Structure 1
Amino acid sequence: MTQAATLADPLLAEVPLTEQDFARIVALVRSHSGIALSDSKRDLVYGRLRRRLRALRLDSFAAYLEVLEGPEGAEERVRMINAITTNLTGFFREAHHFEHLAQAVLPNLPRGQRRLRIWSAGCSSGEEPYTIAMTLRSAMPDLAGWDARILATDIDTDMVAHGEAGRYAADRAAAIPPQLRRTHTQAAGAEVEMGPELKSLISFLPLNLLEAWPMRGPFDAIFCRNVVIYFDKPTQRTLFDRFADMLCPGGHLFVGHSETLFRVSERFQHLGRTIYRKLR
């Protein structure tokens, strides 16, 4: 594409993001998702929302903000959050969490009610809940006799739809151990599809963690990894309190490798390597 062609079409030209527009976007994102965007995220915000301007054929961020803040802006606010959310995930990422789940959590579940609930909070495109499902299938030979469910939620509605479809590029599925890949997935052209025995365990749901939660729990374990790093400390404290309220006595919380509950919550015991157990 020539420079002349770029300048001839205002939708392809550079669009300035003023300090005022950026501040309004930051405020909107924070109020609707809890995500705290710093100045260092300005280029990310610009690049991702510039695509939304093109899709809507708008020539300024001021015009885009009018859409976002208008009476019919709810749908576009969802698309905005989808656009700026970073979805870094993978099968068996931080594998020690799933080893702990298999070796320390599942064997010690109360055998009376044979009920198991696990929540993947911030499930992104679904690799995490499918990894949990494979862990359950391989570690619990008697799983068919349990009332077992995995809840998978994310604020990004596109990612939730991706996870529910359960189809992934073959190179992404390469991280699944060969035996589990043979047992629980099937080839679908250039993709790999999760098997029905995995899908039957998981319920995908769009959910903003800062809004009301429709589920009652309690959960035996909650995975919330690489999510709270986007929140400020007061928001983190509130969220961890809500997680504690949702966990069974002694339930487990798994967080991301760069996250910690130190000086944020006193309701959990640190077991090491970003694994926590509910105290109260």
Structure 2
Amino acid sequence: MSFHTTVDRGRSQHAPSDHLAERDFNRIAELINGKTGIRLPPGKRTMIEARLRKRVRAHGMANMEAYCRFLFDEGGLETEASHLVDVVTTNKTDFFREPDHFRFLAGPGIAALMTQHQHERSPHLHFWSAASSNGAEAYTLAMVLSSLIDRNRRFDFSILGTDISTAMLRHAHRAVYPSDFVAPVPGQMRHRYLLQARDPRQNEVRIVPELRERVRFAHLNLMDRTYPFEHHFDVIFLRNVLIYFEREVQVAVTRRLISHLRPGGYLFVGHSETSVAYDLPVRQVAPAIFQLQ
């Protein structure tokens, strides 16, 4: 008795693929690296494929192959590039992430800055969250600084938050977060600086207007050769973003940032990013905290 193989005509080897081909992943990785400096090693291919499916659905396309053809062969990058960056970039952040940084700022950090500004009757301090994501870091800063003012520390402040993701900037500007996301905010600050949704079923909070007014958000690609901000900052937070860059890019980005830092100002980086400071004119004053000399 002999058997023959049945060929499934509907699933031939030439059928369009709903997976991210190696060639297309490499093209996307090259594009993202060129635009943002972020490395996408081969091990990220499955993750990127999963994230891109929302764009495939948004365009009503049948599969991943059609989406990549749209990107690279049909001129889709002209309108899709910013969405691609939003989808691919990692936006991990939390309120009061690395709390020792905020304890330092509220203690010796502000004390030193006030000394530097002692000739001013009511100094205005400038802060920059340089990879602000959904705004949690910038609003954490605002809570800490506003609490110090409530305790009769005489200064004013403003905060700039920048990010490459337009989706994250919209989220940050709206300043609305799920209730469980703000769990790290201390109870007293939660009561003082967060507004509960009128409908408890929404399970959301919003940053109070007085803090939102002190924080502004702007689009910025850290790969740009210059940054369009004139005044010097007293404190710059650049945390947990350098890890996605090659060493050469890490140093170049950080040098551009500290060119906007006033002498004696502070640079905060992620704990796994401290080695980049070895190539900079700064001194370490606490774990992952550096002061411009």
TM-score normalized with structure 1 length: 0.88
Q: Whole-Å Cα distance in 1 between the matches of residues 204 and 240 of structure 2?
A: 26
1: CA distance, partners of 2:21 / 2:184: 42
CA distance in 1, matches of 2:189, 2:279: 36
Count of residue pairs the alignment pairs up: 269
Unaligned 5+ segments in structure 1 are: 1-6
Q: Assess if the C-alpha contact under 8 Å between 1:126 and 1:160 holds in 2.
A: yes
* AA matched with 1:88: K
Match of 2:140 among 114, 124, 131: 131
Which residue does 2:4 correspond to in 1?
none
Cα distance in 2 for partners of 1:217, 1:71 equals: 39
Identify which of 184, 188, 191 aligns with 1:179: 188
Give the distance between the partners of 1:251 and 1:46, measured in 2 at CA: 41
- Asked whether 1:265 is paired with 2:279, we answer yes
2:270 partner amino acid: G
- Of 132, 152, 160, the match for 1:151: 160
Provide the C-alpha distance between the structure 2 equivalents of 1:231 and 1:176, rounded to a whole number of angstroms. 30
Q: CA deviation at 1:179?
A: 0.7
1:220 equivalenced with 2:229 (yes/no):
no
Q: 2:119 matched to which residue of 1?
A: 112
Q: 1:87 aligns with which of 80, 84, 91?
A: 91
Q: CA deviation at 1:258?
A: 2.0
- AA aligned to 2:37 is G
Q: Which residue of 2 aligns with 1:4?
A: none
CA distance in 2, matches of 1:166, 1:143: 27
List alignment gaps of at least 5 residues for structure 2: 1-9
Q: Which moved more, 1:57-66 or 1:85-94?
A: 57-66
Give a deviation string over 1:202-240, Cα, whole Å, max 9, x none: 001121111242212301011111111110001001011
Superposed CA RMSD in Å reads 2.3
> Where does residue 7 of structure 2 map in the other structure?
none
Letter in 2 for 1:174: A
Helix, strand or coil: the match of 2:251? helix
Deviations 1:238-275 (A, max 9, x none): 01111221100011111113222357523221223211
SS in structure 1 opposite 2:279? coil
Select between 133-142 and 193-202 the one with higher mean Cα deviation. Answer: 133-142
Percent identity of equivalent pairs: 37
Residues 92, 98 of structure 1: 8 Å contact kept: yes
Contact 1:137/1:143 (CA < 8 Å) preserved in 2?
Answer: no
- Taking the aligned partners of 1:112 and 1:242, their CA distance within structure 2 comes to 28
1:200 is the counterpart of 2:204: no
Structure 1 residue 61: Cα displacement: 4.6
2:274 aligns to what SS in structure 1?
A: coil
Sort the Cα spacing of 1:262 and 1:30 in 2 relative to 1 into closer, same or farther, 3 A. Answer: closer
TM-score by length of 2: 0.84
Corresponding position: 1:233 with 2:236 = no
Deviation at 1:73, TM superposition (A): 2.5
Task: Tell me which residue corresponds to 2:5.
Answer: none
Q: Provide Cα deviations, 1:15-56, integer angstroms capped at 9, x if missing partner.
A: 132221111111110111111111111111111112212221
